[in-house]
Amino acid sequence: MSVSIEYIPTGSPVHRLHALTKLLFALAVLTISMLLSQPLPLLLLFFSLLGIAALASVSQEILSAVKGLLKVAFFLVLLQMFFYPEGTVLFAPVSSLPGLAVTDQGILFGISIALRMMVIVTSFLLFLTTTPARSTVLSLVEYLKVPYDYAFLFITALRFIPTFLEEVRLIGQAQEARAHDFSGGGPLARLKTIFPLALPLVMISLQRAERMAMAMETRGFGLPGRTYYRTEKPGAVDIMVIVALLSAVAVAVLLRF
Amino acid sequence: MLSITIENLTFSYPDCSSPALHEINLTMEAGEFIVITGATGAGKSTLLRSINGVIPHFQPGTLQGNVWLDGATPSGRVPVARVSAPQLARFIGSVFDDPEGQIVSPIVEEEIAFGLENTGVDPAQMDGRIAKALADCGISHLRHRATSSLSGGQKQRVAIAAALALAPKILVLDEPTSELDPDGTEAVLNVLSELNKNHGITIIIAEQKVTLLAPLCDRLVLLEKGRIALQGPPRQVFLHPHIFAKLGVELPAPARLAHALVQEGVLPPFDSPDAPPIPLTVEEAFTLSRQLL
């Protein structure tokens, strides 16, 4: 199972939407899926998500993730089937334990839960595959007033992932060249073998953090009145999508109560 | 015009008995290309760090004397120690030796924008300034690349462009080629030479690679245990091979050849009036040898 949660730049209309619009979309889908309890509407919602994935040209990644989710969904249905007591009993595998009886409503409830899980995960996958993390973070700074320092922390962490992986590889090779065995036996032994990798990595990172602070301040980091190179403003389409999303949530709430 | 005057500068790192810099007096004119060299531990980095404000803003220790920034304010000169490190970025651009540890952004253009954003440049001007900084460093084609995908030489040129975007008058570079291969080194040094010649930017660089820098620079400063052992234009400095030998700094091969020729009696001594200038490059050494044949 390969679940891609990376940004996939395809330049589709969905990609061009503002990060906050897409975040709101994921949250709206989450809310609506919580309000829906019947399998059919949830299934429709799920298929419309797949439609959006196709529009965003990320169907392949989403479908491969859905394939993985199906296994989890199957397990969820199975679990709910046996532990949902209400409804007409279809069959009871162990006659002395009436609690384990499989009911019609139990099956429906299980399917709903599984679908809801799939809808929520898929909607967030859609958000992540169509929105660069940087856009999300900067939107949070600009519109939701998250302090820039925290946002910067996050962006820099993203930037350092490839560097860390390269360093892990180099340190690993260096230690193996000195006859260190990383494949050691049980879980406890395995944990012990990690130390010769983790210690140099931590030391290098601390040193680098200090140099980085120096490099940042010599380029003006920390001055008041910071500006932003690329600010993304929500467009007319964003407003329309946001209005549509909010109305959909409102309708779902009204139908439910 | 921005020049630097160092007056009686003494600096000791904490828990160190002998000072890393001892009574340094040095003037660096606007538009000069200055190479600071010397053995490891001679104080090259310490000297640069006291110019770009890392000392005293980051590095604890005891500092005596002053590094003056002349012409930074209308009223005249200010000591570097009184200007905060981020403020200093507008006057002095800094490039460090570790290409990895000074790049903060995932994409090249964002890296160049970082300093502009910090110093509050109007976003409408940023595209132009990013394009110019990249073009001046000969790396316009890297603008949309991921910084993690660049080679060491490309990363260092991105770091130079990032410092340059803030339009400093002075670039201070601490062994920027120490982790680079020969191609990367050449590319970085060529960029520095261009910036110095075409844009009048003062270059202050600490380097071991004297052979490569001698033809590019105006002045060489040799440090020995925190003191200035020798300084002057390269042709003048190379007249003292014994000082190079004593300090453990390699005298470039063309100059060594010339000294050998003098010792053999083929060339007149360099202090005599009819002596040819000491060669800095292999080409100059070749021309000199050719004349002798």
Phi, psi for residue B135 in degrees, rounded to 5 = -65, -40
In one-letter notation, the amino acid at residue B36 is: I
B183 and chain A in contact, CB less than 8 A: no
pLDDT number for residue A4: 46
Mean pLDDT of chain B: 91
Report whether pLDDT(B193) > 90: yes
Q: Please, are residues B96 and A211 in contact by the beta-carbon 8 Å criterion?
A: yes
The answer, yes or no, to whether residue B192 has pLDDT greater than 80, is yes
Segment-wise mean pLDDT, segments of 10 residues, chain A, 257 residues: 63 90 94 92 94 92 91 88 78 69 84 93 92 84 85 80 84 87 76 84 88 88 85 88 94 88
Complex ipTM value: 0.82
Do the chains contact at B100 and A162, CB–CB below 8 Å? no
**B273 cis-preceded (ω within 30 degrees of 0):** no
pLDDT in tens, B18-68: 899 999 999 999 999 999 999 988 999 999 999 998 888 888 899 999 999
CB distance from B103 to chain A under 8 Å? yes
Residues of A in contact with B155 (CB under 8 A): none
Residues 6+ apart with CB under 8 A from B196: B31, B33, B202, B203, B216
On chain B, the residues whose CB falls within 8 A of the CB of A227 are 116-117, 120-123
Contact state of B119 with A220 under an 8 Å Cβ cutoff? yes
Give the best residue of B102, B111, B164 to mutate against chain A (max A CB count within 10 A): B102
User: Would you tell me which residues 9-68 of chain A have a C-beta closer than 8 angstroms to some C-beta of chain B?
Assistant: none
Render pLDDT for A99-152 as a digit per residue (tens, 0 to 9). 677 888 888 888 999 999 999 999 999 998 898 877 888 888 888 888 888 888
Pick from B104, B123, B126: CB nearest A156: B104
Place of tokens 């200007």: B83
CB within 8 Å: A134 and B106: yes
Concatenated DSSP letters of B115-167: HHHHTT--HHHHHHHHHHHHHHTT-GGGTTSBGGGS-HHHHHHHHHHHHHTT-
> Model's pTM, two decimal places?
0.79
pLDDT digits (tens, 9 = 90+) for B77-125: 899 888 887 788 889 999 998 888 899 888 899 999 999 999 999 999 9
B109 class by beta-carbon count within 10 Å (0-12 exposed, 13-18 middle, 19+ buried): buried
Task: List the B33-38 sheet strands across, edge first.
Answer: B92-95, B170-174, B202-206, B33-38, B219-224, B227-232
Q: What count of residues does chain B have?
A: 293
CA distances from B206 to B48, B108, B240 (A): 7, 25, 20
**Contacting residues of A for B159, CB less than 8 Å apart:** 215
Give the HSE-up count for residue A17: Cα atoms under 13 Å, Cβ half-sphere.
24
pLDDT band of residue B214 (cuts 50, 70, 90) is very high
